[in-house]
Amino acid sequence: MNIAAPFKPHGKHFVAGEKRATEAQFSSAPAHGPAHSFSVGTVELVEAACTAAEEAFWSYGYSSREDRAVFLETIADEIEARADAITEIGSQETGLPEARLQGERGRTVGQLRLFASHIRAGDYLDRRHDAALPDRAPLPRPDLRLMQRPVGPVAVFGASNFPLAFSVAGGDTASALAAGCPVVVKGHSSHPGTSEIVAEAVAAAVATCGLHPGVFSLIQGGRRDVGTALVQHPLINAVGFTGSLAGGKALFDLCAARPRPIPFFGELGSVNPMFLMPAATASRGAEIGAGWAASLTMGAGQFCTNPGIAVVLEGADGERFAEAAREALSATGEQVMLTDGIAQAYREGSDRVAAGTGVQALLTSTCNLRNAAPYLFRTTGRDWLANDALAEEVFGPLGLIVTVADTDEMLSLARSLVGQLTATIHMDAEDTDAVRALMPILERKAGRVLANGYPTGVEVCDSMVHGGPYPASTNFGATSVGTLSIRRWLRPVCYQNMPEAVLPEDLV
């Protein structure tokens, strides 16, 4: 089956297998192409979706790993069957190039199939067994077995900057479904049509696999009360979120304030600093500058791993790096941002950086409407340390070069950082000793530390960590990308002296 474009949304929610409309409507705001009307989410829809998810858990949460793997693969097939239609409406709503959306769709279905393979292998269950020692003195030991079990229904908030890979059927949803947890998705209002067509793919897979329809629901739009009702619903057991620090912190506080608090797994972004070591800067500073500019402007800088800060020693080598970055950024034209609101926030963030004491503008731009052009600024390590606002993320293609007097000041700057998703070191062999001093600091600050590369481009695999200490994420022990992300939706259960006849099948 191949569902061809164009796709015209029906504008309804998906609640436990039913398409539900509400009286209030909102309109999409596409970068190009027609706008469409969508039903506004309500607290009543949240209640219906969460209740259905709990009902579904009694069968889906105890289904076989093979059945869940087939379900994930069927979702992937249904998404691919809608490939052209997804690309068309996704491009209209977000302004992202078709090639970017095609690649993101490939990542999305790849995640689903990766988790199918992951749960088939069973290693994620972390099964442990301590056999009984009835004759042990002074006390016998009982028979003890441990296995990870799904937590129950979870809520997922779609992200603005990844309409496929971090949205309706993205990594949060894929990992939760793999774990055995029904999912209620709060769609992002910046791409409701894309959310709808992907939800149709998930709903089709639910029907094909004969699952309880409450295993998946999508609620679109709605005021703040809808998100509040979702994270505070007593049947929701955990929340996945990718978005702004302010929005994530508000939801985190709501989860903590519940009569029964639940974990909130928020990925909130960071400035992803790069540290240029002396030998590397001397030998290839211009090359690093050009590479940084390309990473900085990829996707109009709308990546949570966008490397917004570069730390370099002052001097001629650092100047060559800065000039190469400036030249490369100057040659970059305007790009369409995801929403008008994101474009406005980018302009405000640029103004905030420019107003900082000791900040020098190396490249300024005029950004109109929904478009963004690069900005490049420079400051000193001393001024950086004196102004916390310079360490705040600007979501877009803005770079800030921080020059330091020596590697000792570089270490001081690294220690001043708050939690980051990534930290990058550019080094040559001669920089090894200096890097050894820097590494312990960066390990404490970031979830992923990389050498001689750029952090944009997050590989979906077993060993990836996409998270970090707060405020990069709200749970430093978790990742939102890679197979380890399934652990967010599981909890360990110990079975003591339990007869095999009643143990979970995976423990026997």
- Report, as residue numbers or ranges, the catalytic residues: 267, 304
Residues 6+ apart with CB under 8 A from 260: 234
Q: What is the rounded distance in angstroms from the CA atom of residue 273 to the CA atom of residue 421?
A: 9
Helix %, strand %, coil % for the chain, to 5?
45, 20, 35
Q: What is the rounded distance in angstroms from the CA atom of residue 379 to the CA atom of residue 404?
A: 9
| Phi, psi of 113, rounded to the nearest 5 degrees | -75, -35
CB 11 within 8 A of CB 38: yes
With residue 421 as reference, give the H or E element that holds it.
strand 420-426
Identify which of 420, 398, 278, 295 has the alpha carbon closest to the alpha carbon of residue 350. Answer: 398
Q: What is the rounded distance in angstroms from the CA atom of residue 22 to the CA atom of residue 378?
A: 51
Q: What is the rounded distance in angstroms from the CA atom of residue 52 to the CA atom of residue 1?
A: 29
Neighbours of 503 (CB within 10 A): 13
**How many residues belong to the chain?**
508
Q: What is the rounded distance in angstroms from the CA atom of residue 59 to the CA atom of residue 61?
A: 6
| Phi, psi of 56, rounded to the nearest 5 degrees | -70, -30
Q: What is the rounded distance in angstroms from the CA atom of residue 313 to the CA atom of residue 407?
A: 7
Q: What is the rounded distance in angstroms from the CA atom of residue 1 to the CA atom of residue 402?
A: 54
CB 22 within 8 A of CB 39: yes
Q: Which residue type does 465 have?
A: V
| Phi, psi of 403, rounded to the nearest 5 degrees | -95, 135
Q: Which two tokens stand for residue 56?
A: 């579904």
Q: What is the rounded distance in angstroms from the CA atom of residue 320 to the CA atom of residue 127?
A: 55
Neighbours of 368 (CB within 10 A): 11
Q: Which residue type does 94 have?
A: T
Q: For residue 304, what is the DSSP state?
A: T
Q: Which residue type does 199 have?
A: A
Identify which of 312, 275, 264 has the alpha carbon closest to the alpha carbon of residue 417. Answer: 275
C-alpha dihedral, 183 to 184 to 190 to 191, nearest 10°? 60
